[in-house]
Structure 1
Amino acid sequence: MTAQLAALYDVENPWGRDDEFFLRLANRTPAARVVDLGCGTGRLTLALAAAGHSVTGVEPARASLDAARGKPDGGRVTWIEGIAADLPAAAYDLALLTSHVAQEIRDDAEWAGTLVELRRALVDGGRLAFDSRDPAARRWERWNPAHSRRRLALPDGTTVDAWTELTEVRDGQVSFRHHYRYPDGRELRSAGTLRFRTEAELRASLTAAGFTVDRMCGGWAGEPVGASQDGELIVVARAADHCQRR
């Protein structure tokens, strides 16, 4: 991600119900040690620190991490340019993967390895929470110019026209391309692919990595899976005691 795309990301993704959900979850443990994996430009990461938690933000994209570091109170967070394998062992009470970061980990072996590393980084009984779009909701069908056109107002007053196009759906993976057109005709593009895992696949991968699922919701108000227009799979799991796994 370039610095320009990072700025566009911040405009497109303001504070929302998902952030409120994860912040409330963290606040159940005062002064929790939290790791935000795939923290992006730090929207939730910084809010967690402001709420009194000890926060580590982990992000592999340097431009996103630079944007996060440069924000007000960025010095209150420990920033790591890396992945889950770079985390210390038994150092956190809560691990978060928000804004559908879990779907960015497309390879199933890599996803399994990430969960194992997060279990290693959590204390016994520590929690893991993340969101992943429910494939049954088929949200990608809205990723076309007719449904996705939007206008973004940048902090400097520039107005950018944006839209998304679907490019491929195959084997549980959905590819797309974001377009951003500036007033001078210049256009930026950002392509991506997301892995859509089913509820059963998520549960199986969590169990294999040493987690037990506390709850799985379909929407940000706590609706059951399949009962919300949000079309989510919101997971809260707990790291099993190592002694219990032997």
Structure 2
Amino acid sequence: MDADRLYHDPALADFYDLENGWERSPDFAFCRALVEGAASMLDLGCGTGELAIAVSGGRTVVAVDPAPAMLGIARAKAGAGGVEFVEGDARTLRLGRRFDLVVLTGHAFQVFLTQEDRRAALATIAAHLAPGGRFVFDSRNPACREWEEWGPDDSMRLLDHPRFGAVAAWNDVALDAGTGIVTYGTHYEIRATGERLSAASRIAFPEKAELEALIAEAGLRVERWLGDWEGHAWQEGAKEIIPLGTLA
């Protein structure tokens, strides 16, 4: 899995929090509520650390990401001292520790492009989950074909970046019908200078049936399948596939 410039290039990573609006994000709110009562949490694919820092008061929080640029932003934030940030790959990570809650949100699970990658990531979750602990992750439902809404016309937006000023942003997208892998480009054009920053990202859209089989194989058990981060049960046509579960 090649390093994605969107997260590994410091200039591009600098747009991450601006684009995501964490306090308005339903997965952010869901995980903040889920961690209540838990003494420890492992955040796989923590990005810029917003969730990890927000829940770190009074509990052990370890946050892992493969991108040094994202971790650099995370470590510079207020409250970051309450989190142990680790550079690592969720497919191979072995900390030798177990946690009450393991989360992998922000559709980070979709960066695992092959079934073997997904199997390895789920084994990592199982290896770090304490008895009675819970895990949660999200993946977009391929049946909804959400990538069809990611073209330049639908995605064009104007950002007010604190350092660059006005920035035009847009995406483009291509589906590999043979593999089901979607490649989407992210483009930022700084209005003051005309400089353009771009990255191409690849993500997979595994079917729910595959996830069911791989989760069971990893020694995990799903308590509830959710169709969104508001907590509604999964059903055909739901935009999200969100397993919430524990060790089998």
Q: Report the TM-score, using the length of structure 2 for normalisation.
A: 0.90
Which letter does structure 2 place at the counterpart of 1:75? G
Which of the numbers 221, 224, 229 marks the counterpart of 1:220? 229
Which of the numbers 183, 189, 194 marks the counterpart of 1:181? 189
Q: Distance in 2 between the 1:203 and 1:57 partners? A: 26
Which of the numbers 119, 130, 134 marks the counterpart of 1:123? 130
Assess if the C-alpha contact under 8 Å between 2:226 and 2:242 holds in 1. yes
Corresponding residue number in structure 1 for 2:65: 59
Structure 1, unaligned runs of 5 or more: 241-246
1:173 Cα offset (Å): 1.3
Which of the numbers 79, 83, 86 marks the counterpart of 1:80? 86
Q: Distance in 1 between the 2:19 and 2:230 partners? A: 22
% identical equivalent positions? 36
Corresponding residue number in structure 2 for 1:24: 33
Corresponding residue number in structure 2 for 1:13: 20
Q: Distance in 1 between the 2:243 and 2:156 partners? A: 30
Q: How do 1:154-233 and structure 2 match up within 5 A?
A: 154-156=161-163, 158-170=165-177, 171-183=179-191, 184-226=193-235, 231-233=239-241
Structure 2, unaligned runs of 5 or more: 1-7
1:150 Cα offset (Å): 1.1
Assess if the C-alpha contact under 8 Å between 2:138 and 2:240 holds in 1. yes
1:43 Cα offset (Å): 1.2
Per-residue CA distance 1:187-230 (angstroms, 9 max, x = gap): 1001111110111111111000001101111112222324777x
Q: Distance in 1 between the 2:48 and 2:103 partners? A: 15
Which letter does structure 2 place at the counterpart of 1:220? W
Corresponding residue number in structure 1 for 2:77: 71
How many aligned residue pairs are there?
236
Secondary structure (helix, strand or coil) at the match of 2:55 reads: helix
Which of the numbers 225, 234, 242 marks the counterpart of 2:242? 234
1:157 Cα offset (Å): 6.4
Q: Distance in 1 between the 2:94 and 2:156 partners? A: 39
